[in-house]
Structure 1
Amino acid sequence: MSETQRAVKRRRKVVKSCTFCRKRKLKCDHGKPMCNQCLERKLPHCLYTDHFNFQLTTDELFSDSPNVELIRRINELEEKLQRKNSDGGIVSDSTNCSSTPSSNRSSTSTGPRNNPLWAYRTFIQMDGQCIVFGPTSWRTTVVAQGDRFVKEYRRLWEMIMPERCKLMSNSWSSQKMPITPEEECVTSALCRELPGYQELRKSVEKFFDDDYHAMFKVLDKEKTLNDLERCFIRCPDDDDRVIDIIAPDGDGNFCKAALILMILCLTKFEGSPPPSFSSFFTSLTALNLSSKLSFVERSQFLVLRFFNNVYYSYVCSEAPQVGGMVSELCECSMNLGLAEASTYYKGKENEVGPLYTLKNVWLYTLYADVMVAFEFGRPLLISDDHFDPETLKCYEQTEEESGGFLRRRRLMLMKFIQVSRYCMTELNSRSSSGNVAGAVEQLISYIQENLLPIRYYTSQKTFCSVDFFDIMVLGPSLGMLLNFHNIQRIWLNSPVTSVKNGLVKFGFLSLSLSVNTILGVLERDGGKDGHRALHFALLLVNPLLMRVLSEMYSAFFHKLSLFEDGLIKSIDWGTCAIELHDLDVPTTEYYSFVGAIKMFRKIIDELFEPSKAHLQVFFSKSYAIATTLALEKVSRTLFDRARESRTKAENYCTFTDEGTISQETLNEMTDIFWSTYEQQSQDLWSMKPQDF
């Protein structure tokens, strides 16, 4: 026998068992598409290799590497190629792009579904930080308008940011900043800036009598006052002077003291903590990273800090801090088992406070997870393994909330969490189907079934009868509807009339809600504490207002700079008027573009009416609202310059058919538009936002 003949390998024995049974040495019944062993264990796949025309070693076949999956995929493609050659047709590869879930998948389906929106992400680098935002982030929507628009948008923010930073620094220019040695501990520096003990106590009592506590109810007054007494050590010679802050039980739980300081921020410092407070909060974060603190008070503190801080973080460089805060909150609440507070903490109320406060902390943890997922365009941090809608049923009524008013709030919040979690999973998860239309339907149904008719929120005359808690869920619901229609327009290239009209409709509803909330809260306050009232109003709508201005102005600008077929002679070819008393979106006629611009400005200008002069005083002293309004004024001016550039570009080029245009003429008009716009806007970049 020759060497060649001796080198021929023996025929490999065909393996008929599935890979799972073979690896575990189980008896396989060879059932297809799934054997009984795999069915009993509820495995996602049951893979057979007997039909593969490849030589595999035992290690390759039964290792944890994805070789078998790859080979199966190759086999499928070969079969499709054979069908193509035999039929002479084109076989599309849609295996990984299922638009709806399938409960009867065959053994030849490959892995999880592939969300078509997952690829739409934007990478932003600012102040040395690198951040990726996903599909539902308004930053991703802005970047999608094109490089030229993004360039202008960045220049816009470069103009506004110095003024914003100046406002932030000025907010503490009147505070006495202690000069402390580097070795001085954080608590000592903090005590230097604390008010007297009696003022601390008054701030705590004030907190439990105002909107913040009524809105969230995550703390108990008696327990909080007791923690104040134990954590803040007073001078023996001066009973009103705080000289130290301690963890009273010797367990390192400084979160009890942090809660008191957070209350002080909300009641005395208009939500903006002094530098020494921020240092103390940062120290707690560092301590948690090293020790993984698991105290109920830590989750309560993080909930309040989220609602105080997250609504001021529009700037990309601030985003990681917000994301990190919510990550801590989710991890801490899950570790504490707050999803089943009645089970784990019943009988321990003397230590942790009433059970309803813990249940509320869990609800707002879920809420914060949804809000950050939406603003960042990322998947939810709390998986369905930790979220059971059935568990929430025991939350419907608590020992403290026996009235219908508070029960309505709780039910409304729970239903919003369920709907919004579905939406975020559908759009921001890799393994979802990306069913945007289904998410839109769910949100509209939620609003119609759980809230007052929309006209109550869009009219100043009826807004006085609205429960401000409604804004907590209606604001993000409208923001999602605005964003989802924009996603359909930009990423999915949907030509449907209702998509473009939906973008306009829900953008205007969002803007009207934001303006009415700001004015309504300030009017209800009656001038008693305007700064605090404005802070509370912004807590409800600030992220929504920033999203509306960013997404709507980018869409308006995009429409001016894009020369679409049929939009050559006039950009105002729509005839339909915009109504804000319902959720209906026209499906046959477009909204008037010029009419939309006029109405958009009319709504935002309600903040600057002469009759509101007594309220405008507070706008200039809030860096949050000042930044937002500066963005609107600068964007408005740039839009007007772009509109003039559009007119000049149209007048310069001639064409015979208004409905069609050659690519050459289209390119020429686009170049003329941008060159004219750059010339006309050149003088604006040297101005300050307040000059507009």
Structure 2
Amino acid sequence: MGIARKDKFNLEIESAGARRRRKTVRSCTFCRQRKLKCDQQKPMCGSCKARKLPECFYTDGFNFQLTSEELFSGSPNVALMKRIRELERVLASTTLDDCADTAVDAVPYEPDGHGLPGSVASSGSTASGGSSIGSAAATSCSGLQCDPVTTTLMGMDHNSINPSCGHGNKLLSFRTLKDVQGGIVLRGATSIGAAMLASGEQFIYEYNKVWQRVQNEVETWKVVQGQPFTFDQALLEQPLSGSILDAVVADLPTFDTIKDHLQLFFQSPLHDHYHVLDEAKVMADFERCFVPGYLPTDASVQGKPIVMLLSGNDKTIYAPAIVLIVLCLTYYKTDIPPSFERLITFLCGWYAIETSCVERVQFLLMLYILKLYNGHIEKNCAQMWGLVSNLCATALSLGMHMDIDNLYANEELRGGTRIETLHSMWYWILFADVNVSFDRGFPLIIDSCRYDDNRLPCESKTREGLLRNYLHIARKTMHTLYDKNETPQIVHLVSNLTTFIEKHFRPIRYYTDVDLIQEVDLFDISILSQLLAIVANCFSLTRMLECQMKTATKNGFIKYVILSISLAVTTVRGCFEMDRKLHSTMIYGKYRYLTPYTNLSVLLLNSAPFRALTELYGLLFYKVTLFEKGLIVSTDEGIFDLDLTTLEVPDGQFFSFRGVFNKFCSIFDEMLKPECDNMARVLWRSHVFVTTMALERVNRAVFQVGLQTRTQVEIAHNWSQMGPEDFSDEIMKSMSTEATDEYNKAFLELMEMDPSEYLTEFQMTDD
């Protein structure tokens, strides 16, 4: 899988027999292995440059004459020697006290430099027409050299567990650093970035190109539909003629319009799902804080304008700010007034002792919901983590992790918020903590030292009971995955999670069948979607840790990713059907935004569809480019039927490569059937759906190019007629080089095509 084997070269560095004298070799590893004349140009020799290889690596600094097996094994001696050299340099400048942190992060794992996971990429060289994705940079964050667009680095070595830390947890060695618009983002083992790294350097390089292509199309969409809610730093640089509150007042709708939309919110499925606000309190805050003026003399203006904003009972502006977020959910949706964003940005960062109040927690929690509701998931992962960190810190400062019933028994202390609402707020804060920590690849913000998880389990069959029981097993799983002391037994985690699903949910077929999902409580989906994502990720982590991927591991990963995708598609279709029955005038009229239940599906699914889409294509692409023994895609034997009515994972035979791809395409294409035309028009109003559909279509086109070139090479070499004993390393490397050359040509042609020729059949214009 492109990850260093655990034990092989520990025994082979020095053989027991006669030792030959090593001489200095100046040719690059690629030319040496293929016995080509190397012109020894650096950073890339003529042979590697002519073949458009992504990297060219020299070993003269190590003074070793390496064999073909050593050069291209799962853990080449080159990697070991480089690792030793870098660790020696780190240890020379590091104290014993901080070695635990430095040793893991100092030396990034280098993915494949020749399209073959396991070979070594050189530092600083670039692929033809692209950037050096995944190449080694400096040995500390302070010396990191990032690509202007996106550079991803990963630290991982099975043999590098720090001796001063006991056995250690190997998962903690998975780290990615990503340059996002000039800022550095660190992500860990459970993040989407880590799963992408496991699929090879070439996949990341091309995924970045694909993602940029998708972003360009989404920018075109924004011109038509308007900008979704976002924190834009440029807003803070724009001049103000008055105070922020004056600007907010000028942008507010009339008093009656605000009141109507507050009432609409408390009747919506969104409030029914969360229950983190009290209607009576919010309406009272609105009446107190939003001061209306006189009726205008202009007959074209209906209703009293707002002329002043006052603080709430707690003397802060958080109470009226909560009303503003509700308006963003129900009234503005897109094209949020810049004054709103200015005030929200200020309130997120403003903290003083007098701002430590329940309303601040509600404000931050509602902002988190707003961002999820608008599909701010992967792109703003770091921003979401910062928001939830702020939310958790405020909740802890208020003692919400303690005995709320006794602590907030005084009516005056809770300011009109019911005890039941405080409990609900706390559980959703824990939920947000699990989600953003899982997506970012970090340990939980609210750790076991601050909160006793044994208070969570309960026998209640209510929504709150399901949420609490989910939080118990999800937090336990996260604690185990990020335990500093030892690598987790992931097979046990998977067993516990699947048992939980079988106990607390209907049979899985109810969530993968568009007819049966009408019988399901939508609340279940917000929990189940995250559970399926966590199980799939556990299999992915096993895939990265294992030297040899087991059949059950590969099948389990595929099964749960496909289940996630099926759940997503079925949920969207089911929610649209609910809107069609309840809000037919909005469906078939010129309704500018997502209809209520369809919009709710964005929140219910969270990052699961984006994660599943990326992880599955990463695995498929990896298998196409790997040329491993026994995998023949031109004939493709295996299990073709992916049964989505059960959680059972077969372990006797691999799922068919083409069968998996065809199943995935058929599930996604359910949303593009002629009978779903009206749904497609509604989904086009959401940037998260447009982005997901565009990404899927571009990925599909790219993958089909890879599959086609792989198949052509296999047929040309008559690989299907060869037995396992005929698959020599030399043959596979030669075929891989040939396939990579052909693929690179086809990929460049694909990227030069007009997007309309391949991008999507999805509705991209409003008629």
Aligned: 1:171 with 2:225: yes
Partner residue in 1 for 2:285: 227
Structure 2 CA distance for aligned equivalents of residues 417 and 292 of structure 1: 31
1:687 Cα deviation after fit? 3.9
CA–CA distance in 1 between the matches of 2:354 and 2:673? 51
| Alignment match, 2:213 | 159
Structure 1: distance between partners of 2:600 and 2:228: 23
Residue 392 of structure 1 and its aligned partner are, at CA, apart by: 3.8
Between the aligned partners of 2:227 and 2:569, the Cα distance in structure 1 is 30
The letter of the residue matching 2:256 is: Q
Q: Is residue 560–residue 571 contact of structure 1 (8 Å, CA) maintained in 2?
A: no
Of 490, 493, 499, which residue of structure 2 is paired with 1:439? 493
Structure ID, larger Rg: 1
1:525-540 equivalences under 5 Å are 525-526=579-580, 527-530=584-587, 531-533=594-596, 534-540=598-604
Kindly indicate whether residue 273 of structure 2 is the aligned counterpart of residue 211 of structure 1. Answer: no
The corresponding residue for 1:335 is 397
The structure-2 alpha-carbon separation of the partners of 1:688 and 1:219, relative to structure 1 and needing over 3 Å to count, comes to farther
Choose which of 420, 427, 433 in structure 2 pairs with 1:363: 427
Q: 525-534 vs 258-267, which deviates more? A: 525-534
Change over 3 Å in CA distance of 1:689–1:436 after alignment to 2: farther
**Alpha-carbon distance change, 481 to 174 in structure 1, aligned in 2, over 3 angstroms:** closer
Alignment-mate amino acid for residue 700 of structure 2 = R
- Pick from 174, 191, 210 the counterpart of residue 249 of structure 2: 191
Q: Does 1:304 align with 2:366?
A: yes
When residues 169 and 304 of structure 1 are mapped into structure 2, their CA distance, relative to the original with a 3 A threshold, is: farther
Q: Between Structure 1 and Structure 2, which shows a larger proportion of helix residues?
A: 1
Matches within 5 A, 1:597-676: 597-653=661-717, 657-660=722-725, 661-676=727-742
Aligned-residue offset at 1:110: 6.6
Compared with structure 1, are the counterparts of its residues 329 and 158 closer, same or farther at alpha carbon in structure 2 (3 Å cutoff)? same
Correspondent of 1:683 among 749, 754, 765? 749
2:636 and 2:742 map into 1 onto residues whose CA distance is: 21
State the distance in 2 between where 1:274 and 1:298 align. Answer: 21
2:520 matches 1:472: no
Count of equivalent residues: 580
Give me the whole-angstrom Cα distance separating, in 1, the residues matched to 2:708 and 2:227.
Answer: 43
Give yes or no for the alignment of 1:145 onto 2:210: no
Mapped partners of 1:509, 1:95: distance in 2: 34
Q: In structure 2, list runs of 5 or more residues that go unmatched.
A: 1-94, 101-157, 230-234, 297-302, 588-593, 759-767
CA deviation digits over 1:261-300, x for unaligned, max 9?
A: 1111111233774332221110102322x66831101111
Q: Which moved more, 1:208-217 or 1:563-572?
A: 563-572
Give the equivalent residue in structure 1 for 2:645.
581
Deviations 1:531-579 (A, max 9, x none): 1333211111141110111000111111111111112474622135210
Residue 690 (structure 1) shift: 4.6
Is the 2:228–2:335 Cα contact (8 Å) retained in structure 1?
A: no
After superposition, what is the alpha-carbon deviation per residue over 1:448-475, rounded to whole angstroms, capped at 9, x for unaligned?
A: 1111111111111111000000011100
Amino acid paired to 2:346: S
TM-score by length of 2: 0.71
Q: Which moved more, 1:161-170 or 1:509-518?
A: 161-170
Question: Could you list the per-position Cα deviations for residues 63-108 of structure 1 after superposition, in whole angstroms to 9, with x for gaps in the alignment?
Answer: xx968x99xxxxxxxxxxxxxxxxxxxxxxx99979xxxxxxxxxx
Question: Which runs of no fewer than 5 residues in structure 1 stay unpaired?
Answer: 1-64, 71-93, 99-108, 398-406
Match for 1:320: what amino acid?
A
Match of 1:282 in 2: 345
What is the CA distance between 1:163 and its match in structure 2?
Answer: 2.3
SS in 2 for 1:460: coil
TM-score (norm 1): 0.79
Contact 1:207 1:267 in 2 (8 A): yes
> Which position in structure 2 is the counterpart of 1:25?
none
8 Å CA contact 1:633–1:689 kept in 2: the answer is no
Between the aligned partners of 1:262 and 1:341, the Cα distance in structure 2 is 26
Structure-2 change in CA distance of 1:547 and 1:528 (3 Å): farther
- Residue identity in the other structure for 1:202: D
Given that residues 456 and 472 in structure 2 are in contact (C-alpha distance below 8 angstroms), is that contact kept between their aligned partners in structure 1? no
* 1:244 aligned counterpart, secondary structure: strand
Residue 477 (structure 1) shift? 0.3
- Confirm whether residue 455 of structure 1 aligns to residue 518 of structure 2: no
Note closer, same or farther for the CA distance 1:328–1:254 as it changes in structure 2 (3 Å cut): same
The structure-2 alpha-carbon separation of the partners of 1:372 and 1:633, relative to structure 1 and needing over 3 Å to count, comes to: same
Give the counterpart of 2:436 among 372, 388, 393: 372
What is the CA distance between 1:162 and its match in structure 2? Answer: 2.0
SS at match of 1:338: coil
One-letter amino acid of the structure 2 residue matched with residue 651 of structure 1: I
- 3-state SS of paired residue (1:233): strand
Is 1:200 matched with 2:258? yes
Shift of 1:428: 3.1
Provide the residue aligned with 2:554 in structure 1.
500
Once the two structures are aligned, what percentage of the paired residues are identical?
Answer: 28
Which shifted more, 186-195 or 542-551?
186-195
* 1:46 aligned partner: none
**Deviations along 1:566-607, whole A, 9 cap, x unmatched?**
124746221352101111001112212212111111100011
The code of the aligned residue for 2:411 comes to K
**Per-residue CA distance 1:129-170 (angstroms, 9 max, x = gap):** 111111111121112211111111010011111222343454
Aligned pairs for 1:483-562 within 5 A? 483-526=537-580, 527-530=584-587, 531-533=594-596, 534-562=598-626
Secondary structure of the structure 1 residue equivalent to 2:355? coil
* Structure 2 contact 372–602 (Cα < 8 Å) conserved: no
Give the secondary-structure state (helix, strand or coil) at the position aligned to 2:185. strand
Contact 2:348 2:364 (8 Å CA) reproduced: no
Alignment of 1:370-409 (within 5 A): 370-392=434-456, 408-409=462-463
Counterpart residue identity of residue 275, structure 1:
P
> After the TM superposition, which residues 1-40 of structure 1 pair with which residues of structure 2 at under 5 Å, given as runs?
none
What corresponds to 1:240 in structure 2?
304
Instruction: Give the secondary-structure state (helix, strand or coil) at the position aligned to 1:384.
Output: coil
CA–CA separation in structure 1 for the residues paired with 2:522 and 2:711: 44
What is the CA-CA distance between 1:237 and the residue it aligns to?
5.4
Residue among 393, 410, 426 paired with 1:347: 410
Cα distance in structure 2, aligned partners of 1:542 and 1:691 = 30
2:261 touches 2:327 (CA, 8 Å); kept in 1? yes
Which residue among 304, 318, 322 is the counterpart of 1:255? 318
| Residues 177-206 of structure 1: CA deviation (Å, up to 9, x unaligned) | 9x9952422122222221111111111111
Distance 2:196 2:728 in 1: 28
How far did residue 670 of structure 1 move?
A: 1.0
- Deviation for aligned residue 1:248: 3.3
Q: Given the superposition, is the C-alpha separation of residues 466 and 213 from structure 1 closer, same or farther in structure 2, using an over 3 Å criterion?
A: same
Equivalents in 2 of 1:580, 1:562: separation in Å?
28
Alignment pair present for 1:565 and 2:629: yes
Find out whether 1:424 has 2:478 as its counterpart: yes
2-side partners of 1:572 and 1:421: how far apart? 40
- SS of residue in 2 equivalent to 1:385: coil
The 8 Å contact of residues 172 and 189 in structure 2, kept in 1 or not, is answered as yes
* Equivalent residue in structure 2 for 1:120, among 146, 171, 174: 174
Rounded to whole Å, the distance in 2 between the matches of 1:652 and 1:96 is 42
Q: Deviation at 1:438? A: 1.8
Deviation of 1:111 after TM superposition, in Å, equals: 5.1
**CA–CA distance in structure 2, aligned partners of residues 254 and 461 of structure 1:** 46
Q: Name which of structure 1's ranges 597-606 and 265-274 shifts more when overlaid on structure 2.
A: 265-274
Quick one: distance in 2 between partners of 1:352 and 1:338?
A: 16
TM-superposed CA distance for 1:630, in Å, is 0.1
